[in-house]
Amino acid sequence: MTTPDSASPRSMRTPLGRVRSLGASHSGTFDFWIQRLTAVASVLLILPVVIVVMMLLGRNQAGAAQVLGAPLVAIILLLFIIATAWHMKIGMQVVIEDYVHNEKIKLAAIMANNFFSFAVALASIYAILKLSSGV
């Protein structure tokens, strides 16, 4: 019996050779590494971020804008947003690859995931930079 993904009887290619580079993600360990890198970054940043959130409690817009516009606060939040947005993009892609088996729907879902994560990051970064410049 010959299935579409099996080699011809005369082929010299090994089973490993045929499946190499045909994995679900079509990429190597880059995402694995970035997922851990951004996780460590988020853990390091959580305490400063919690302090910033505590500083904002009970303040009105003018007070909040003043706190968020301070350079140190803005930098902490920017780092946290970049790390978490990247982390969640990779995490959601893993979930999609685990549960969505239809190739076209999977591609669409991964695209939507990229759009969402990038939009979340960019919108947050824009808001913080706007608060920092005081425009």
Partner 1 sequence: MTARIERPLSPHLQTYRFTLTMAMSIIHRITGIALYFGTLLLVWWLIAAASGPTAYSHVQAFTTSFIGRLVVFGYTWALLHHMLSGIRHFFWDLGYGFKPNEREALTWAALIGGISLTVLLWIAAYAIGGGR
Which residues make up the interface to partner 1 (CB under 8 A)? Answer: 1-3, 6-7, 9, 15, 36, 39-40, 42-43, 46, 50, 54, 57-62, 64-65, 68, 77, 81, 84-85, 88, 91-92, 95, 120, 123-124, 126-128, 130-131
Min separation Cβ 92 and partner 1, Å: 6
Spatial distance between the Cα atoms of 107 and 123, rounded to a whole number of angstroms: 24
C-alpha angle 69/81/97, rounded to 5°? 165
Answer yes or no: are the C-beta atoms of 93 and 110 closer than 8 Å.
yes
Nearest approach in angstroms of CB 110 to partner 1 is: 14
In the block, residue with structure tokens 């959580």: 46
**Shortest reach from residue 131's CB to partner 1, in Å:** 5
